[in-house]
Structure 1
Amino acid sequence: MDTNEKQTQKQKQAKPLGGLLAAAVSRAVPVVAGIEDKVLDARTPCADYDVKTLANHLLHVVVEFQKLAVKQDSDFSSPPDYVARAGWRERFAREAEALVEAWSTPGALEGTTGAMNMPARTVGGMALLDLTAHAWDLARATGQSYEADPAVVAELTEVVERLAPTGREMGVFGAAVPVGADADPFARLLAATGRDPYGH
């Protein structure tokens, strides 16, 4: 079997992205709902973000990646202050469900999307990564528990392997954090993005 045939077979075997996003959303929404106002200024595993800033970023990511699913232009440069508005936790839940719907629509994974004209499935994988990693960041920062769906972790392990070199050049990922041989797959995934899965 040549490389192209292997890639085609792999794509056929890949789990639907919409289902993976739904699994990630089901874990992220309770974390966001559990963020209390008194911890909005707490630091997070993302060095440049406190909880409020990261929550704003994540909600903006969820909104903008909906546009990318339908091949519209997006703007990640200046997130609005969603958290300053009443009902922002409920809005996150609504927008996250809309994200799942957008990437579950026929044609969403076809062609390219975004300013860099990246393959749509790769862009959808980036949405899945942000949703998963930042939900963990927020859970860690606010004293909540978080457990990623195993199928999501498996998908993101491949996503990070593909994107990590470019991500590190762009400053999106930090240097990989060493973990022990007994580390579970999610810990390895977090470490590959530059996060310490066992620290803060």
Structure 2
Amino acid sequence: MTDRISDLLEAAAAHAEPVVRGVEDKQLGKRTPCADYDVRDLLNHLFHVVVGFQALAARKEADFSHTPDYLEGDWRGRFAAETGLLAEAWAVPGAEEGTTGTMNLPARTVGSMVLLDLTVHVWDLARATGQDFTPDEEGVRALGALVAEMGPTARRMKVFGEPCPMPDGATPFEELLASTGRDPHWAPNPNP
């Protein structure tokens, strides 16, 4: 069992990469559980977060004011390479210490934020494109505390929706999804 951000990111990336590789070009316009994003937009967002949080690990600034289009050429292969660079950036000694970013948040919290995107947004992509996705269990455990702590602020900032009700017997991952405002049973409309 590990709690190092770099190890958790490496494991999350291993679960994410097959989903990203499984997205077909004809699916890029499909809607996702994130109402503001279709598949193309969500892939670009996730790509941008993975790249930007490499800089944050190194105490450099990242520009999130606009999102470039990353989906050119072998973007699936580049996504795998960038997630590898992300894990490497957070493995550098001291990356989890101190603060980083314009919000001056604890570095470990910032690393956990990219772990959340690499877990929850990959579920969004899998749901939108009809793929299976099972997240890394240690990552889900680590994210439960983050979402509990940051949930109220994230909801005020409209990053999370209101929590979805969960029936008894929900898995830890279903609870995590629901706490970010996602319906764990979301499915695309078969007749768009």
Question: What is the TM-score with the length of structure 2 in the denominator?
Answer: 0.95
The amino acid of 1:80's aligned partner reads P
> Aligned partners of 2:60, 2:162: CA distance in 1, in Å?
32
Q: Tell me if 1:37 matches 2:39.
A: no
Shift of 1:120: 0.2
Aligned to 1:94: 81
Secondary structure of the corresponding residue to residue 82 of structure 1: coil
Q: Relative contact order: is structure 1 or structure 2 higher (C-alpha 8 Å, sep ≥ 6)?
A: 2
Aligned to 2:50: 62
The amino acid of 2:95's aligned partner reads A
Aligned to 1:159: 146
Secondary structure of the corresponding residue to residue 29 of structure 2: coil
Shift of 1:77: 1.8
Q: Tell me if 1:144 matches 2:131.
A: yes
> Aligned partners of 1:16, 1:48: CA distance in 2, in Å?
32
Q: Where in structure 2 are there 5+ consecutive unaligned residues?
A: 188-192
The amino acid of 1:185's aligned partner reads P
Aligned to 1:82: 70
The amino acid of 1:126's aligned partner reads M
Shift of 1:14: 6.4
Q: Given the alignment, which residue of 144, 167, 172 partners 1:185? A: 172
Q: Tell me if 1:17 matches 2:5.
A: yes
Q: Percent of aligned positions with the same letter in both sequences?
A: 56
- Per-residue deviation, residues 109-130 of structure 1 (Å, max 9, x unmatched): 0110000100000000001001
Cα-Cα RMSD? 1.0
- Per-residue deviation, residues 33-74 of structure 1 (Å, max 9, x unmatched): 010001000000000100000000000000000000000001
Would you say how many aligned residue pairs link Structure 1 and Structure 2?
187
Higher Rg of the two aligned structures: 1
Q: Which runs of 4+ in 1 moved over 2 A?
A: none
> Aligned partners of 1:136, 1:57: CA distance in 2, in Å?
14
Question: What is the TM-score with the length of structure 1 in the denominator?
Answer: 0.92
> Aligned partners of 2:21, 2:117: CA distance in 1, in Å?
17
The amino acid of 2:121's aligned partner reads H
Q: Tell me if 1:112 matches 2:92.
A: no
